[in-house]
Amino acid sequence: MTWNSIMGFVSSFALLAPIILILVLRLGRYRSFPVLLLYYSSVLIYNLLTEGYIKADHSVEYYWGLINNVMDTPLMIFFLTYFSTSKIFTRKMKVLALSFVLFEIIVIATIGFNIDAITIIMGPGLLIIFGLCMYFFIRHAKLAIENRKATGKAVIISSLLFGYGCYTIIYLMYYIFKAHIGADGKVNAQYMNDTFLIYFIAASLSAIIMCIGLTIERKRIQKLQELKVTRKELSTIYTETKRAAPLRTAILDFDRDQWN
């Protein structure tokens, strides 16, 4: 077995792990996590196709890869709304996602559904996702360090920041500079294999970090849900009580760092 085949196998299991974890932790219906589930499912299927674990015609693998790349940016923008700091910012992100879909439609209608179109689409898409990940990482990493809040979010966003940072480098080398094509115009098979190896390693590490983040975040979500129940019970108890200011205790300030 080659390193490529080994890492292709490892990355397939690594990409499967967040899917299983989202389902096991019952995050599949929570806010934007269904989008993350769809994202990892699409990437996993493409990984299985390219590695030959799912037998299909070359055309199926080719078009699934194109569809996967077209879906990537809109799906990730929608998932990143989970880290939004306000409803207004969330609305702007959704408008951005829909605008990007319109951009993709225009490009595909003009050039066709092919590699050239994907090359044009992926550039700004990677830039948008990487920029959003960087912004959210700085914010939630600061909260995690200073206030010991949003640790799960910080870990989740760090996995995406790492992954998309690596994907951006691969995109530049493969699609823009075309480093895999030699001076004679022929494809360098060894360079192609090395590119896939880097992708497999990046996808595996990103998925593993994501699993850690999902586990931590699930605990925070559970505590948040318990606090909501407590608030509801307190609201029932004090429903007839008049007070000058709304009831808020230190413990009920647990989720103040995010809007709901």
Exposure class string for 155-184: b at 16+ Cβ within 10 A, else e? bbbbbbbbbbbbbbebbebbbeeeebeeee
Amino acid 205: pLDDT: 96
Give the tens place of pLDDT for each residue, 134-172: 999 999 999 888 887 889 999 999 999 999 999 999 999
pTM (2 decimals)? 0.85
| Nearest alpha-carbon partner for 214 in 19, 17, 21 | 21
- In the chain, % of residues over pLDDT 90: 62
Torsion of the alpha carbons at 22, 23, 29 and 30, rounded to the nearest 10: -30
Residues 6 or more apart in contact with residue 167 via CB below 8 angstroms: 126, 199, 202
The residue count for the chain: 260
Strand, coil or helix: what is 133? Answer: helix
The CA-atom distances, in angstroms, between 10 and each of 134, 137, 164, 248 are: 27, 27, 19, 48
| Nearest alpha-carbon partner for 258 in 29, 87, 26 | 87
| Nearest alpha-carbon partner for 222 in 175, 255, 188, 179 | 255
Instruction: Write down the domain spans for the chain.
Output: 10-238+246-253
Enclosing H/E stretch for 97:
helix 87-111
Where do we find the tokens 């691969």? 170
What is the CATH code of the structural domain delimited by 10-238+246-253?
Answer: 1.20.1070
Beta bridge partners of 187: 181
Strand, coil or helix: what is 49? Answer: helix
Query: Residue range 167-178: average pLDDT?
Result: 87
Give the tens place of pLDDT for each residue, 28-85: 999 999 999 999 999 999 999 988 888 888 889 999 999 999 999 999 999 999 999 8
| Nearest alpha-carbon partner for 124 in 150, 87, 91, 96 | 96
Structure tokens at 209: 């970090």
